[in-house]
Amino acid sequence: MQQLLAAILTMIAGVLACAAYFWGTNFILDRIFPSKGLSGKAASRNLRITNAIRPWLFLAPALFALTIYLIYPVIESVWLSFHDRGGQNFVGARNYGWMINDGEFRQSIFNNFLWLLVVPALSTFFGLVIAALTDRIWWGNIAKTLIFMPMAISFVGAAVIWKFIYDYRAEGTEQIGLLNAIVVAFGGVPQAWITLPFWNNFFLMVILIWIQTGFAMVILSAALRGIPEETIEAAVIDGANGWQIFFKIMVPQIWGTIAVVWTTITILVLKVFDIVLAMTNGQWQSQVLANLMFDWMFRGGGDFGRGASIAVVIMILVVPIMIWNIRNAAKEMRSH
Amino acid sequence: MTPATRSPLMWAVHLSVLLIVALWTMPTAGLLISSLRDKDQLAVSGWWTALATSSRNAVARAPSADSQVERNGKFVISGNVLDGQAGQVSAFGFSSREPAAFKAGETAELNDGEKLTVQADGSFEIVSDTRMEGSRGQRIFFTAAAPPRFTLDNYREVLSAEGIGASFINSLTVAVPSTVIPILIAAFAAYALAWMPFPGRAILIAVVVGLLVVPLQMSLIPLLKLYNGVGAFLGVPAKTYMGIWLAHTGFGLPLAIYLLRNYMAGLPREIMESARVDGASDFDIFVKIILPLSFPALASFAIFQFLWTWNDLLVAIVFLGTGQDQLVLTGRLVNLLGSRGGNWEILTASAFITIVVPLIVFFALQRYLVRGLLAGSVKGG
């Protein structure tokens, strides 16, 4: 409690300090270069100067934080990836060479590609279908809220929820995990699902799909509602049936949004860490890059060189999407 | 699509949505129900049987020969196998090979001539013609039907004994300042990027959009080194709340700036121009007009950032310690998964406590969350 109080006081102090900075610097700027009460030329000169300086006063704290917490680390990580475990000695591309020959790394790359193939595709597909279905029924909003809800749940919490579903008891005893209970009810043999190599990846993916479908649904539902009525009416008049309207008229009009949802989930998948750590910690051949990277950060006292080089690999996989995003944002700004 | 299609097809839509909703809510429902069940019942039966009477097999040990009493010339040891718990005994036995050989109320002949009777209410009597000996009591196997039992005991236990209560406070300590501090910083930057012309503005916006997707993994090692260095230089611990607040602030800024800039750029230009004609400076315009108008966007970001910092595991385990006063809920839950892997009463109750705050935020403020999502995803083609 005391600790929470201290946190809130620090927070208030921090916000006040920010406010004081913004107010103070602006006040000083207006004092040094006043534009009121001066005549013509001097006033407009001062106005020009303040207009040139003020944006940077507004931006300074944000730029400072972004530089320290994101821009500098990206450069430093690349630099560290060419150095040894402590970050002192230059080792050239040795970390990358190690990586290519490391079985665990290859396993992680393979698994990551599996995740990349399955999770964005299924999340987007389910999201699209659910959005289309719920838009037609009167209780659609309630249904959407419930499907969207897992988004608020932490990956670790979701891992516990699903580990409970995958729970395994020896054959013959009563199963308390839902999946094994269903399997047994249909006369099957219970399995320890998350220890089955290769297939366990898919049981882990289910968790992320469960969380992300709601996100896809919300975005795509808004996009579907934005489709002009006339295009659908025209199709109906031409005698198109429900499927044709959906796949040939509606889906093509929201390709842009589908791509956005797809790429957003793709980036999330590349960073997936908590789920794997909590479910298997990379055992039984379920390792992924983000968990491997975390592992090397601390394994045997920590190998910063190898950890950083794995982080760089994740970054490289993200870069194409980053460029695509920047180009889209730039295009949109020009059209405004 | 039209009322005319209120047909079998419409029923199929209703049914399939119902099925999907059931599929999506069942995992969470199972967790909640399990966390409220009695831990002995939870361990032996699925949560979907929570309302049914469950039968359990158990073993009790009768008191030793010391407690026998003489009655009508016979020696009797009596007791109750249920030991105060509710339930109904249906069968019993005295050897592990045949734990349910006798029905309740029947009398079993033990190997040494003693007679054992167990009633349905659990009370039992061992009767013998001669004085009984031996220091260990007779083992009695029995099958008991227990009525469904719901309890808050699991919550009571995890909140105190498992340290979930302390971690709850730690999580709040992390999440609240991490949510509030970035807002003002981002709002000023967003205003500059939306409404103040200056050279390099387009490049800065592109940088912010690019930073939106930089993986956190890139930042971990350099910042860990930096924090260790700063900690050693100043003679303070490297893992502090101050450190994690600033880290969350830095990581949250791109989204905050992006969301707020998009929102502010959409505000009508006339408002600002008329204010400027009246002699207001940019600072005045921002504080008196833009900030109040941007409330919906601020709320959206605040919700995102709160959910993200509350649910975060990675940043917390790298930049915070693992002591009682620093371990956050997600970290504690991962530890419990390792140490109490089979104790589902502990895990389900702990998990529910970690997700209940985000769920409340979600249901109360869903409107802002949706609006933020729609504004926050980079618009495509």
Q: Are A194 and A200 in contact (CB under 8 A)?
A: yes
pLDDT at B127 over 90: no
Question: Which residues 87-116 in chain B show a CB within 8 A of chain A?
Answer: none
With CB atoms and an 8 Å threshold, state whether B46 touches A157.
no
List, for residues A245-284, the tens digit of each pLDDT value. 888 888 999 998 999 999 999 999 998 899 999 999 888 9
Confidence of residue B120 (pLDDT cuts 50, 70, 90): confident
Among the listed ranges A154-163, A269-278, A285-294, B7-16, which one has the minimum average pLDDT value? B7-16
With CB atoms and an 8 Å threshold, state whether A153 touches B358.
yes
Percentage of residues in chain B having pLDDT higher than 90:
33
List, for residues A90-149, the tens digit of each pLDDT value. 988 899 999 999 999 999 999 999 999 999 999 999 999 999 999 888 898 899 999 999
Residues of chain A with C-beta less than 8 angstroms from the C-beta of B24: 146-147, 149-150, 210, 213-214
CA A44 to each of CA A36, A49, A84, B45: distance values in angstroms, whole numbers, following the listed order: 10, 9, 57, 81
List, for residues B318-329, the tens digit of each pLDDT value. 999 888 888 999
* Gap from A192 CA to chain B (nearest CA, Å): 13
Mean pLDDT of B134-142: 80
Percentage of residues in chain A having pLDDT higher than 90:
54
pLDDT at B211 over 90: yes
d(CA B31, CA B47): 8
Which residue among B20, B207, B265 places its CB closest to the CB of A147? B20
pLDDT at B332 over 60: yes
Residue B13 forms contact with A (CB below 8 Å): yes
Residue A308 forms contact with B (CB below 8 Å): yes
Nearest 5°: the CA angle A202, A168, B19 is 60
pLDDT at B136 over 80: no
Which residue among A4, A177, A307 places its CB closest to the CB of B169? A4
Mean pLDDT of B201-211: 92
Mean pLDDT of A321-327: 92
List, for residues B76-97, the tens digit of each pLDDT value. 888 888 776 777 888 888 887 7
3-state secondary structure string across chain A: CHHHHHHHHHHHHHHHHHHHHHHHHHHHHHHHCCCCCCCHHHHHHHHHHHHHHHHHHHHHHHHHHHHHHHHHHHHHHHHHCCECCCCCCECCCHHHHHHHHCHHHHHHHHHHHHHHHHHHHHHHHHHHHHHHHHCCCCCHHHHHHHHHHHHHCCHHHHHHHHHHHCCCCCCCCCCCCHHHHHHHHCCCCCCCHHHCCCHHHHHHHHHHHHHHHHHHHHHHHHHHHCCCHHHHHHHHHCCCCHHHHHHHHHHHHCHHHHHHHHHHHHHHHHCCCHHHHHHCCCCCCCCCHHHHHHHHHHHHHCCHHHHHHHHHHHHHHHHHHHHHHHHHHHHHHHHC
User: Which of B217, B257, B345, B370 to probe by mutation at the A interface, max A CB count within 10 Å?
Assistant: B217
Radius of gyration of chain B (CA): 33
pLDDT at B133 over 80: no
Give the predicted TM-score (pTM) of the model.
0.86
Residues of chain A with C-beta less than 8 angstroms from the C-beta of B344: 164, 167, 176
With CB atoms and an 8 Å threshold, state whether A156 touches B333.
yes
With CB atoms and an 8 Å threshold, state whether B46 touches A174.
yes
List, for residues A9-32, the tens digit of each pLDDT value. 888 888 898 889 989 998 898 888
* Gap from B377 CA to chain A (nearest CA, Å): 7
The structure tokens listed for B377 are 């995803």
The structure tokens listed for B305 are 């950032």
Residue A252 forms contact with B (CB below 8 Å): no
Residue B379 forms contact with A (CB below 8 Å): yes
pLDDT at B150 over 90: no
With CB atoms and an 8 Å threshold, state whether B350 touches A160.
yes
With CB atoms and an 8 Å threshold, state whether B46 touches A176.
yes
With CB atoms and an 8 Å threshold, state whether A77 touches B47.
no
So what's the pLDDT on residue B378?
53
pLDDT at B259 over 80: yes
* Closest residue on chain B to A8 (Cα): B177
Confidence of residue B278 (pLDDT cuts 50, 70, 90): confident
Residue A177 forms contact with B (CB below 8 Å): yes
pLDDT at A40 over 80: no
Mean pLDDT of B366-377: 81
pLDDT at A78 over 80: yes
Which residue among A159, A176, A326 places its CB closest to the CB of B209? A326
So what's the pLDDT on residue A336?
61
So what's the pLDDT on residue A328?
87
* Gap from B310 CA to chain A (nearest CA, Å): 8
pLDDT at B381 over 60: no
Which residue among B16, B28, B196 places its CB closest to the CB of A55? B196
Exposed, middle or buried, A30 (CB in 10 Å: 0-12/13-18/19+)? middle
So what's the pLDDT on residue B1?
47
User: Which of B211, B213, B263 to probe by mutation at the A interface, max A CB count within 10 Å?
Assistant: B213
With CB atoms and an 8 Å threshold, state whether A62 touches B253.
yes
Question: Which residues 240-279 in chain B show a CB within 8 A of chain A?
Answer: 241-242, 245-247, 249-251, 253-254, 257, 265, 279
Helix (H, G, I), strand (E, B) or coil at B98: strand
Exposed, middle or buried, B66 (CB in 10 Å: 0-12/13-18/19+)? exposed
Q: What is the mean pLDDT of chain B?
A: 86
Look at strands B139-146 and B123-128 and give their pairing.
unpaired
Q: Are A179 and A190 in contact (CB under 8 A)?
A: no
Strand pairing partners for B98?
B95
Percentage of residues in chain B having pLDDT higher than 70:
96
Confidence of residue A155 (pLDDT cuts 50, 70, 90): very high
Q: How far is CA A236 from the centre of its chain?
A: 39
Exposed, middle or buried, A225 (CB in 10 Å: 0-12/13-18/19+)? exposed
Closest listed residue to residue A154, CA positions, set B23, B351, B249, B217: B351
With CB atoms and an 8 Å threshold, state whether B281 touches A26.
yes
pLDDT at B352 over 60: yes
ipTM of this model? 0.90
* Gap from B242 CA to chain A (nearest CA, Å): 9
Mean pLDDT of A155-177: 90
Mean pLDDT of A83-94: 87
Residues of chain B with C-beta less than 8 angstroms from the C-beta of A322: 210, 213-214
Which residue among A58, A134, A311 places its CB closest to the CB of B217? A311
d(CA B186, CA B188): 6
So what's the pLDDT on residue B380?
40
List, for residues A192-246, the tens digit of each pLDDT value. 898 998 999 999 999 999 999 999 999 999 999 888 888 888 888 888 888 888 8
* Closest residue on chain B to A34 (Cα): B281
User: Which of B17, B54, B340 to probe by mutation at the A interface, max A CB count within 10 Å?
Assistant: B17
